[in-house]
Amino acid sequence: MAVTMNDVARAAGVSLKTVSNVLNDYEFIRPVTKQKVLDAIAELGYEANLTARSLRSGKTRMLGLVLSDLSIPYYAELASRLMTFASARGYRVLVEQSGAEPGHELSALQGPFRQLTDGLLFTPLALDAGTIAAHQGTKPVVMLGEHIADPRFDLVTMKNAEAAAAITAHLLASGRRRIAVLGAASEDTTDSPGLRLNGYREALKTAGVEFDPALVVQCDWRRDGGASAVGSLLDDGTEFDAVFGLNDAIALGAMHELLIRGHKLPGDVAVAGFDDIDEARFASPSLTTVSPGMEEIAERSVKLLIDRIEGAEASSEGLHVEAGFELKVRESAP
Amino acid sequence: MAVTMNDVARAAGVSLKTVSNVLNDYEFIRPVTKQKVLDAIAELGYEANLTARSLRSGKTRMLGLVLSDLSIPYYAELASRLMTFASARGYRVLVEQSGAEPGHELSALQGPFRQLTDGLLFTPLALDAGTIAAHQGTKPVVMLGEHIADPRFDLVTMKNAEAAAAITAHLLASGRRRIAVLGAASEDTTDSPGLRLNGYREALKTAGVEFDPALVVQCDWRRDGGASAVGSLLDDGTEFDAVFGLNDAIALGAMHELLIRGHKLPGDVAVAGFDDIDEARFASPSLTTVSPGMEEIAERSVKLLIDRIEGAEASSEGLHVEAGFELKVRESAP
DNA sequence: GTGCAGGTCTGCAACGATGTAGCTGTACGT
DNA sequence: ACGTACAGCTACATCGTTGCAGACCTGCAC
């Protein structure tokens, strides 16, 4: 059996509660008493039982992180950083994979997972704002990403439209005029595909270049999505001199397909992505992309969530945070 | 306040303990009583308090996963699969990043993290077997990877030597004779660099090709490690017609550097890796590598650990499991 | 009719911590 | 000298569940 507070109390010759008070930094304890307790703790090798503490206090000191799949590099890198920041504030992160399925997202929001955590970092991909609002419960939730931009929720996101516009402007500045966009989804402008597409169109308008719907291709946000999307453009005979993948995976997949089919990069086609995942730097050619400030997103979302949990952030409105972005010009689109 | 068992008991007109018995599938309950309880649970929307259950039962139904860094693709993919398998058996996975630092590994082994989990999936990178044995405590631990091959521990690993030999043999079969090895560390043959290097040497011996120490280069197991390692070979003027990166990241980094310096792949140099991470398929050229059976590793390690936790696996000896591997021949070394 | 087995259910204690209330003793103002 | 304030500590209840022991009932054997 493990050492309990009771054992410590007996060894130190004080009451159970005094041990608890020492551990919780209660103000009014004589130094001599405190020392007796600390000595007893050290001698017995006592460690607080976190489960018991959770039961009594109602806090677990864990943050829930809901994302679709940890094997997606963007999420893996984000999770890693979130854990680091959470750890610095004395919290752990418990990850739940939703597979982007509404049922899983909902059960992460309401089910036992929720009980285990004091607050949620939530990347909603399948649920809409109304459903989330109806089931979010009383513990704090911070939204990550931009699928949900609703004043009711706290949200930490990136400057999707501005960054997409900046990278499009970069392609235009290098003389490209027919820029294919891969990965667009609906015309919905509240999610990241929509916002990025919007940024692209804004940049075209600013440059006075006409928008051509034939250059916009839907595809999965994965490498094979990008590969087949650019493949279909080539097969259709659609002309283009640049490709903007709405994320790096798409761009890398497209680059791969273009190289296989014998196109020269960036000579024939310039390629740009979005996210600045690690491998963008090491692709051949290295991928021009935009870094959406993941470090900042991780830091600020953890801070916001913990402040909500601990009551330090009391505003009743949802706070919206947008991290800064940075253009990363590399070989694929100099 | 949340609904408790007491509320359910009152609503169903039975005792607290009967509700508990229903939830725990106690054998001797009349169907009619069980139904009353289930109805009350449904009506009140009762959900068991996991913290209280943990305190009472001493089980958390969480598995600890200790790895160096979740942003490393291999670990991210492994973690994702482990979570899926654990979830199928009703367990969650709590991840701890050690940064491969001995202090962090040790605290994951002994500290509060351990309390929160019923068993540990441990990737030891910095600690030696003796230290681990001295601090592993009483809860089950399953080692992942090959840093520790000690009969005292359960171990799930891959066929490092055999797989490395197979891929080396493949390079030899295609006519390559001077195969550089990137990522070797010490001469230690118990860790993965050592085992893979050994497999390489075995394959050379079998083919009657002499081993040349000049072709073995130490480097970090990352893309930039591979890039600078192959760079130093080129700078030194060492001749080689193939590169075997001891993992895919090294191989991809090397490939990148070779392409930048104008070498033709696989014409001038064939490149092979190890791990079959997702991006190996999508690199240009796509990377020949060996798949170490990650799916199998994930499945069997979770099964072994949970069987230990639940007492289904009682052998007192450490069990050693080796997953099968599969050669993935692609463009970089056809 | 009594004894026994065992199905069905109940009550109490316990897991290990924290919250609340209250009990002392000293310092201080008047 | 006495009341008050508060530092410093203790005792007890409590969080929501499960383990243990036993009560009660029914059916069957003798």
User: In terms of CA atoms, which chain A residue is nearest residue B98?
Assistant: A84
Average pLDDT over residues B25-40: 89
Q: How far apart are CA B305 and CA B140, in angstroms?
A: 7
For chain C, which bases have at least one atom within 7 A of a protein Cβ? 7-12, 14-21
Query: Which residue from A70, A77, A115 is facing B80, i.e. has the nearest CB?
Result: A70
- N- to C-terminal Cα distance for chain B? 65
Q: What separation in angstroms does the CA of B82 have from each of A20, A120, B96?
A: 37, 22, 14
Choose from A22-26, A45-49, A93-97, A309-313 the range with maximum mean pLDDT: A93-97
Radius of gyration of chain A (CA): 25
> Are the CB atoms for B78 and B158 separated by under 8 Å?
no
List the one residue out of B166, B106, B204 whose CA is nearest residue B290: B166
**A75, containing H or E segment:** helix A73-88
Chain B environment of A260 (Cβ under 8 Å): 284
**Whether residue A130 has pLDDT greater than 70:** yes
The answer to whether the bond into A266 is cis (omega within 30° of 0) is yes
**Whether residue B188 has pLDDT greater than 70:** no
DSSP A81: H
Cβ–Cβ below 8 Å for B284 and A282: no
C1' of C4 to CA of B29 (Å)? 22
Per residue in A32-74, pLDDT (tens digit) is 888 888 989 999 999 999 999 999 999 999 999 999 999 988 8
Residue A291 sits at the vertex; the CA angle it makes with A289 and A293, to the nearest 5 degrees, is 170
Interface probe for B, chosen from A4, A23, A50, A264 (most Cβ of B below 10 Å), is A50
**Whether residue A189 has pLDDT greater than 70:** no
DSSP A211: P
Structural domains present in chain A: 5-48 (1.10.260.40), 62-158+294-324 (3.40.50.2300), 160-291 (3.40.50.2300)
Copy the structure tokens of residue B301: 């390690």
Copy the structure tokens of residue A50: 């976190």
Cβ–Cβ below 8 Å for B73 and A73: yes
Q: Counting every residue, how long is chain B?
A: 334
Q: How far apart are CA B245 and CA B181, in angstroms?
A: 6
On whether any CB of chain B is under 8 Å from the CB of A124, the answer is: no
Q: Give me the sheet containing A179-184, strands edge to edge.
A: A216-218, A179-184, A242-245, A270-272
- Which is higher by pLDDT, B151 or B118? B118
Cβ–Cβ below 8 Å for A83 and B95: yes
Supply the pLDDT for residue A62. 96
Tell me whether strands A154-158 and A141-144 are parallel, antiparallel or unpaired. Answer: parallel
Q: How far apart are CA A308 and CA A118, in angstroms?
A: 10
Q: How far apart are CA A48 and CA A20, in angstroms?
A: 10
For chain D, which bases have at least one atom within 7 A of a protein Cβ? 6-12, 14-21
Supply the pLDDT for residue A283. 78
Q: How far apart are CA B323 and CA B303, in angstroms?
A: 13
- N- to C-terminal Cα distance for chain A? 65
DSSP bridge pairs for B272:
B244, B288
The number of beta carbons lying within 10 Å of the beta carbon of residue A267 is: 8
Per residue in A300-313, pLDDT (tens digit) is 999 999 999 998 77
Sign, CA torsion A306/A309/A314/A315:
positive
Supply the pLDDT for residue B325. 93
Cβ–Cβ below 8 Å for A115 and B227: no
Tell me whether strands B270-272 and B92-97 are parallel, antiparallel or unpaired. Answer: unpaired
C1' of C23 to CA of B187 (Å)? 70
Average pLDDT over residues B286-306: 94
Q: What separation in angstroms does the CA of B109 have from each of A78, B51, B105, B121, B301?
A: 25, 22, 6, 10, 17
The number of beta carbons lying within 10 Å of the beta carbon of residue B240 is: 21
Cβ–Cβ below 8 Å for A279 and B279: yes
Q: How far apart are CA B85 and CA A324, in angstroms?
A: 38
Supply the pLDDT for residue A284. 75
Which residue is listed with tokens 């000191």? A61
Confidence of residue B106 (pLDDT cuts 50, 70, 90): very high
List the one residue out of A94, A108, A106, A99 whose CA is nearest residue A71: A99
Among the residue ranges A174-183, A295-304, B191-200, the one predicted with the least confidence is: B191-200
- CB-side neighbour CA atoms (13 Å) of B76: 22
Q: How far apart are CA B242 and CA B248, in angstroms?
A: 15
On whether any CB of chain A is under 8 Å from the CB of B50, the answer is: yes
Confidence of residue A207 (pLDDT cuts 50, 70, 90): very high
- Say whether the CB atom of A33 is under 7 angstroms from strand D: yes
Q: What is the nearest nucleotide to A57, using C1' and CA?
A: C18
C1' of C30 to CA of A18 (Å)? 35
Q: How far apart are CA A178 and CA A240, in angstroms?
A: 5
Average pLDDT over residues B144-173: 88
List the one residue out of A182, A198, A266 whose CA is nearest residue A231: A182
**Whether residue A316 has pLDDT greater than 80:** no
User: In terms of CA atoms, which chain A residue is nearest residue B85?
Assistant: A97
Contacts with B330 (C-beta within 8 Å, 6 or more apart), sequence order: B280, B281, B285, B286, B287, B288, B289
C1' of C2 to CA of A332 (Å)? 96
**Whether residue A106 has pLDDT greater than 90:** yes
Which residue is listed with tokens 């009140």? B44
List the one residue out of A40, A309, A322, A281 whose CA is nearest residue A162: A322
DSSP bridge pairs for B92:
B62
Q: What is the nearest nucleotide to B46, using C1' and CA?
A: D16
- CB-side neighbour CA atoms (13 Å) of A79: 34
Q: How far apart are CA A74 and CA A305, in angstroms?
A: 20
Sign, CA torsion A216/A217/A219/A222:
negative
Chain A environment of B55 (Cβ under 8 Å): 49, 51-52, 55
Helix (H, G, I), strand (E, B) or coil at B220: coil
